[in-house]
Amino acid sequence: WHAAWLPPAAFRELGSRPVLVHGEGLLVDTVLDEVSRACARYGGRVWHGPPWQVDADLVLALREAGRVPNVAAESARLGATPAVNGAGDGALGDEGYLLARVDGVTVVLADAPAGLLYGMFHVVRLGAAAFDDELPARRHRPALDRRILDHWDNVDIHPVSGQIERGYAGGSLFWRDGAARHDHARLRDYGRLLAACGVNAITVNNVNVHDTEARLLTDRLGDVAETAQVLRPYGVRVHLSVSFAAPVVLGGLPTADPLDDRVRAWWAAATRRVYQRIPDFGGYVVKADSEGRPGPFAYGRDHADGANLLAEALAPHGGVVRWRAFVYDHRQDWRDRSTDRARAAHDHFAPLDGRFDDNVILQVKFGPIDFQPREPVSPVLAAMPATRLAVELQATQEYTGQQRHVCYLGPWWSEVLRFRPRGEAGGTIADVAAGRAGAGGGLVAVANVGDDPFWTAHPLAQANLYAFGRLAWDPLLVPGAILDEWIDLTWLPVATGDPETVRRTMHAIMDDSWRTYERYTAPLGVGFMVRPGHHYGPDVDGYEYTPWGTYHFADRDGVGVDRTRATGTGFTGQYPPPWSEVYESRERCPDELLLFFHHVPYRHVLHSGRTVIQHIYDTHFAGVEEVAAMRERWRLVAGAVDPAVHDRVAERLDEQFRSAVEWRDQINTYFFRKSGVPDAHGRRIH
Ligand code: BDP
């Protein structure tokens, strides 16, 4: 498998110098190991101090209490600007570090081993710039304490979802055909990749917990412990998805009622055993009463009762339960517009604000429906000030081209994280996820990796994993700059041609690729015009007359879902002002979300000055042209990147082009036939 963003050559600068590593601990050993390997390759030297008195170019040191002055004084001495993130008190916390250039030596100081590890990867990222005398002294801390990837991996091959539910990059890194893979070398490499972009926890199994997977909690716990052990040196903690019915399915109890004492005792005992084997275990993830999963509703209890049951079992050990807010009726009547799936999470959860225990995190999908390439931000994220909230993103490209299409999601996630649900005066979604001093629910993404040699099948999809980690560390990073970092680390060290051409080409292909994808797929926020089941490629009416609650309501006069209070489902009323008013108004609603909130005539004029129907035609023609241009650009770097990678991307771009043409033709034809309105530019639409 390929090294992704940590090819040995990315360590050239660090590895060709004298380096001092100071401190003790498992993660310090990891730093030492990384530095030693780099130095062995590039001729540097490494000392494990004390003593301090060596002539090093780089010092990576863990400060022992009492031995070194406090960080505030020390940063002041080094002229460090305060960390942009985290507590303003100057503390470095468990994961922070101070990076500075002092008298010709680059210094990384941390108070805890994880900080040293993150600091070392920062030095790797900077390359030569880390040794520049102009390097600004700065404290660094993650904005969010929890930066988590949820793997939707099954232990068994599931008849419908396979080895990985919505996985597009081969088999699982953890499981194969019903058993653990024990592939420690690969797992360890995965841990490195995660640490290098800042991810500090993963969930090792699917949120849809089938029978074999349920047993990871009990008799198959050893496999989880083994995974935790391999990832621990990289500061990555393990979480488990559990079934709410576990006391029945695994424990033989007659009930899983959250208020039943036997059930509480069962969870307490099961959880105690987990912590005996995995002392730093992160916690549980639960999908309950959703898409057929068991939950508290069966016992007449609500989701606060359900979540608090598990919270109580985890609390003595410092664990958290991440309870998913993705709860809706997937058996609804498509003729009944009053049952709006977009409303479901808020209807269920907003009234429960204040009822959750401290170690409950409510994990909310970023949008009200389901990971579409365009949705408004979920109103739940503005409705529960007394609850710890995590924001859930989808790195696996279920609805964004399934890792056959290039779709760099950094700009989309950045837009979500910077959104201010209460208007300019209020905080951002990133603030909601950060909670107070970073201790909020954090940022979570559904993972996009598998055992494919390129990790993500589409080599360019790696950028989404990288960007997720970096945005979770610092949500204010600029997506183009993250991409640049990723290109620098991943591609340039191994480029076989002019590096600047490679960089330019990558940017040209990827910077705007999410918007390109949006242009040739479902228009103006309406979403879900995909093939039912697997969700790849267009199907104009695939979900239109089904019970799933995902409709576009196109008819001969117009298209879109009326979610207004005045005439529709009332969903706009779940937002606080100003958005409740902005979304309610056809005139003020942003173009890209118009059809999410309104049913409008085809000749409705957008802010752009174009009619809805002409916008649909134009964007679909443009989207396909943009993919054609991507393909052309990629051809031009044939000699400049590894041929195996080049071939893989080229083959995917061919498929993306074919698929984009299919989308364009089906969407345009469909709306032409519905509306009868010809293209203003006379282009051929069937
Ligand atoms: C949907 C996926 C489904 C997941 C579900 C979830 O299609 O496979 O189980 O989300 O998040 O997008 O639970």
User: Is residue 76 domain-shared with residue 171, that is, in the same domain?
Assistant: no
In this prediction, residues 554-579 reach a mean pLDDT of: 98
User: Is residue 134 domain-shared with residue 165, that is, in the same domain?
Assistant: no
Name the 3-class secondary structure at 117: helix
Q: Which of 74, 106, 140 corresponds to the end of one domain?
A: 140
Q: Is the pLDDT of residue 68 over 60?
A: no
Q: Is the pLDDT of residue 87 over 60?
A: no
Which of 161, 207, 365, 535 has most ligand 1 atoms within 8 Å of its beta carbon, as the pocket-test mutant?
207
User: Is residue 229 domain-shared with residue 176, that is, in the same domain?
Assistant: yes
Q: Is the pLDDT of residue 501 over 60?
A: yes
* Average pLDDT value for the chain: 95
If you take atom 1 of ligand 1, which residue's CA is the nearest one?
Answer: 370
* pLDDT > 70 fraction of the chain, expressed in percent and rounded: 96
CATH number at residue 539: 3.90.1330.10
Q: Which of 122, 140, 158 corresponds to the end of one domain?
A: 140
**398 flagged as catalytic:** yes
Closest CA to 367 of 354, 358, 377: 377
Read off the pLDDT band of 89 (50, 70, 90): low
Distance 655 CA to ligand 1 centre (A): 24
CATH number at residue 365: 3.20.20.80
Q: Strand 360-365 to strand 320-324: parallel, antiparallel, or no bridges (unpaired)? A: parallel
In this prediction, residues 475-503 reach a mean pLDDT of: 96
Distance 139 CA to ligand 1 centre (A): 39
Is residue 204 a contact partner of residue 168, using CB atoms and an 8 Å limit? no
Separation CA 531–CA 533 (nearest Å): 6
Q: Is the pTM of this model over 0.90?
A: yes
pLDDT tens digits along 159-195: 999 999 999 999 999 999 999 999 999 999 999 999 9
Q: Within a domain: residue 127?
A: yes
pLDDT for the residue numbered 69: 40
Q: Is the pLDDT of residue 81 over 60?
A: no
Distance 272 CA to ligand 1 centre (A): 30
Q: Is the pLDDT of residue 83 over 70?
A: no
Q: How many residues are present in the chain?
A: 686
Distance 629 CA to ligand 1 centre (A): 33
Q: Strand 97-102 to strand 138-140: parallel, antiparallel, or no bridges (unpaired)? A: antiparallel
User: Is residue 280 domain-shared with residue 429, that is, in the same domain?
Assistant: yes
Give me the residues paired with residue 601 across strands: 558
Distance 546 CA to ligand 1 centre (A): 17
Nearest ligand 1 atom, CA 446: 11
In this prediction, residues 647-675 reach a mean pLDDT of: 98
Name the 3-class secondary structure at 402: coil
Q: Identify the domain containing residue 54 by its residue range.
A: 8-140
Q: Is the pLDDT of residue 572 over 70?
A: yes
pLDDT for the residue numbered 74: 53
Q: Within a domain: residue 686?
A: no
Read off the pLDDT band of 77 (50, 70, 90): low
Distance 536 CA to ligand 1 centre (A): 14
Nearest ligand 1 atom, CA 208: 9
Which of 163, 164, 166, 205 has most ligand 1 atoms within 8 Å of its beta carbon, as the pocket-test mutant?
166
**291 flagged as catalytic:** yes
Is residue 466 a contact partner of residue 473, using CB atoms and an 8 Å limit? no
User: Is residue 225 domain-shared with residue 170, that is, in the same domain?
Assistant: yes
CB crowding 472-508: b at 16 or more within 10 Å, else e: bbbbebebbebbebbbbbbbbbbbeeebeebbebbee
If you take atom 11 of ligand 1, which residue's CA is the nearest one?
Answer: 326
User: Is residue 171 domain-shared with residue 318, that is, in the same domain?
Assistant: yes
Q: Within a domain: residue 212?
A: yes
Nearest ligand 1 atom, CA 371: 12
If you take atom 9 of ligand 1, which residue's CA is the nearest one?
Answer: 208
Instruction: Count structural domains, the chain.
Output: 3
Distance 433 CA to ligand 1 centre (A): 21
Q: Is the pLDDT of residue 363 over 90?
A: yes
pLDDT for the residue numbered 80: 55
Nearest ligand 1 atom, CA 290: 13
Kindly list the protein residues whose Cβ atom lies closer than 6 A to any atom of ligand 1.
165-166, 207-208, 287, 326, 370-371, 398
Distance 370 CA to ligand 1 centre (A): 8
**375 flagged as catalytic:** no
Distance 375 CA to ligand 1 centre (A): 16
Distance 299 CA to ligand 1 centre (A): 24
Read off the pLDDT band of 49 (50, 70, 90): confident
pLDDT for the residue numbered 370: 97
Q: Is the pLDDT of residue 71 over 80?
A: no
The catalytic position among 257, 312, 398, 562 is 398
If you take atom 12 of ligand 1, which residue's CA is the nearest one?
Answer: 370
Distance 25 CA to ligand 1 centre (A): 39
Read off the pLDDT band of 56 (50, 70, 90): very high
Q: Within a domain: residue 132?
A: yes
The catalytic position among 94, 291, 353, 642 is 291
Which of 205, 244, 291, 400 has most ligand 1 atoms within 8 Å of its beta carbon, as the pocket-test mutant?
291
User: Is residue 365 domain-shared with residue 331, that is, in the same domain?
Assistant: yes
User: Is residue 329 domain-shared with residue 386, that is, in the same domain?
Assistant: yes
Q: Is the pLDDT of residue 78 over 90?
A: no
User: Is residue 112 domain-shared with residue 239, that is, in the same domain?
Assistant: no
Which of 363, 370, 528 has most ligand 1 atoms within 8 Å of its beta carbon, as the pocket-test mutant?
370
Q: ipTM surpassing 0.85, yes or no?
A: yes
Separation CA 528–CA 132 (nearest Å): 50
Q: Is the pLDDT of residue 340 over 50?
A: yes
Element of type H or E holding 40: helix 26-42
Name the 3-class secondary structure at 480: helix
- State the Cα angle at 464 between 191 and 139, rounded to 5°: 65
User: Is residue 538 domain-shared with residue 429, that is, in the same domain?
Assistant: no
User: Is residue 135 domain-shared with residue 152, that is, in the same domain?
Assistant: no
In this prediction, residues 308-335 reach a mean pLDDT of: 95
Read off the pLDDT band of 84 (50, 70, 90): very low
Separation CA 441–CA 283 (nearest Å): 12
Q: Is the pLDDT of residue 438 over 80?
A: no
Q: Is the pLDDT of residue 336 over 90?
A: no
pLDDT tens digits along 111-142: 999 999 999 999 999 999 999 999 999 999 99
Which of 149, 163, 168, 208 has most ligand 1 atoms within 8 Å of its beta carbon, as the pocket-test mutant?
208
Q: Which of 140, 155, 182 corresponds to the end of one domain?
A: 140
Q: Within a domain: residue 681?
A: no
- Which alpha helices (H) appear in 285-420, and where do they start and end? 303-314, 344-349, 410-418
Region of residue 104 (phi > 0: left; psi between -120 and 50: alpha; otherwise: beta): left
Separation CA 477–CA 161 (nearest Å): 35
Read off the pLDDT band of 621 (50, 70, 90): very high
The catalytic position among 57, 111, 189, 370 is 370
Q: Within a domain: residue 288?
A: yes
Nearest ligand 1 atom, CA 365: 11
User: Is residue 233 domain-shared with residue 364, that is, in the same domain?
Assistant: yes
Q: Within a domain: residue 339?
A: yes
Distance 190 CA to ligand 1 centre (A): 24
If you take atom 13 of ligand 1, which residue's CA is the nearest one?
Answer: 207
CATH number at residue 16: 3.30.379.10
Nearest ligand 1 atom, CA 206: 9
Q: Within a domain: residue 503?
A: no
Contacts of 486 (CB under 8 A, 6+ apart): 5, 462, 463, 466, 467
